[in-house]
Amino acid sequence: MGDRSFLNWPFFEDRHRQLADRLENWCEANLPVDHGEVDNACRGLVADLGASGFLEYTAADKDETLDVRSLCLIRETLARHDGLADFAFAMQGLGMGAVSLFGSGGQRRWLQKTRTGQAIPAFALTEPESGSDVANIAMSAVRDGSDYILNGEKTWISNGGIADLYVVFARSGEAPGAKGLSAYLVPAATPGLEIAERLHVIAPHPLARLTFNNVRIPESARIGNPGDGFRIAMAVLDVFRSTVGAAALGFARRALDETLKRGASRRLFGAPLHDLQMVQGHIADMALQVDAAALLVYRAAWSKDMGARRITREAAMAKLYATESAQRVIDAAVQIHGGDGVRKGSVVERLYREIRALRIYEGASDVQKIVIARTQIGST
């Protein structure tokens, strides 16, 4: 099971420790799942996580806030066992983040379904010409009587193809740039919304490019006020960014655990591999990076839970450090496993593929550095 001493850190309450224990038992009984047919595997994971009550944490009741420490603990634990289980859980939260934080009474009814695993949401922000440059979104939302008509394209949309509903960010035109965007809740079955292409990546999960061709939605589908789309997207990412760090932390912990097992069981030059001092140097670096990442992740989560309005700097630091250090930790694990480290299907080979995208999505590492620098410069 690896090191769980971090659960005694002052960031956590007893209810967090109980949650971690309950989930650990669930993971040992249910994970990993077969990833062979990825859409079905994901649907199954969402249903099972919903039936076990863990998806309750992905949304908050009105006037309550999301418990970010629970979100991070769940993501870390799931990622340590199975990256696809982490993905399935995370998307229930990210997909509905805008509704959970800003949704109207009618929109919030969807939360009953996403929190029980009966509906799958997606978060549709990225476009072919607007990834890191969110303010460049081109998709249009034009008023037509009491409706809106959406036209444009979204790409790299996780759960694209299996989602029941999409939270879509489009240009409504109240002002140029970031201030002219709004957010909309669009059921997948709405006429004109098509899955144009399924995208395939090195650690497979449902992913698609979507086209919107005269997609008509009622005014009640708009989340928040006109022109609030950018603010809503950033507020959602502010909550969920530290949880990406938590997933990376789970991958890194698993890599360290696998390395410790391998170091004890593999004999080299007449002694266990972990007797070699250069291997010990790797293990020390790995353990140090895991603990440093955990401190940053749970500092960010705790700060949000303690009522900080924004945790932009803390979340950016958590995501940047945890994802970049996990890549280094996993690379060292592959190295220490020798040939078995690159054998298709081995745990560390899977981790090596799973960690990579986390350094790109929800704000690439380079972008996190800019965010951190700006908060530093702004504070002088």
Ligand X SMILES: Cc1cc2nc3c(=O)[nH]c(=O)nc-3n(C[C@H](O)[C@H](O)[C@H](O)COP(=O)(O)OP(=O)(O)OC[C@H]3O[C@@H](n4cnc5c(N)ncnc54)[C@H](O)[C@@H]3O)c2cc1C
**Which sequence positions are flagged as catalytic?**
362
Residues 173 to 232 in contact with ligand X, rule: CB under 6 A: 201, 207
Minimum separation from the CB atom of position 130 to ligand X (A): 7
Length of the chain as a residue count: 380
Between 98 and 127, how does the x/- string for binding to ligand X read (CB under 6 A)?
-------------------------xxxx-
Q: How far is the CB of 162 from ligand X (least distance, A)?
A: 12
Confirm or reject binding of residue 131 to ligand X (CB under 6 A): yes
Nearer to ligand X, 23 or 124 (CB): 124
Residues in the interface with ligand X (CB under 6 A) total: 19
Contacts of 295 (CB under 8 A, 6+ apart): none
Nearest approach, Cβ of residue 97 and ligand X (Å): 11
156 binds ligand X (CB under 6 A): yes
DSSP state at residue 34: P
Token pair of 121, please? 């949401």
Q: 339-358: which residues touch ligand X (CB under 6 A)? A: 357
Query: Min. distance of Cβ 360 from ligand X in angstroms?
Result: 5
| Contact assessment for residue 245 and residue 318, using Cβ atoms and an 8 Å cutoff | yes
Beta strands of the chain (E only): which ranges? 121-124, 140-144, 147-158, 165-171, 181-187, 193-198, 207-218, 222-223, 267-268, 271-272
Closest CA to 71 of 350, 265, 304, 377: 304
Decide if 312 contacts 371 (C-beta within 8 A).
yes
* Nearer to ligand X among residue 83 and residue 117 (C-beta): 83
Judged by CB under 6 A, the residue of 25, 112, 132, 220 near ligand X is 132
Task: Strands of 68-180 (E only): list them.
Answer: 121-124, 140-144, 147-158, 165-171
- Residues 94, 236 contacting (CB under 8 angstroms): yes
273 binds ligand X, rule: CB under 6 A = no
Q: Does 360 bind ligand X (CB under 6 A)?
A: yes
Instruction: Give the CB-nearest residue to ligand X.
Output: 131
**Among positions 370, 373, 374, 376, the unique one binding ligand X when judged by CB under 6 A:** 370
Decide if residue 158 touches ligand X (CB under 6 A): yes
Q: Is 367 in the site for ligand X (CB under 6 A)?
A: yes
Pairing of strands 222-223, 207-218: unpaired
Nearest to residue 242, comparing CAs of 167, 158, 156, 313?
A: 313
Task: Return residues touching ligand X (CB under 6 A).
Answer: 123-126, 131-132, 156-158, 201, 207, 357, 360-362, 364, 366-367, 370
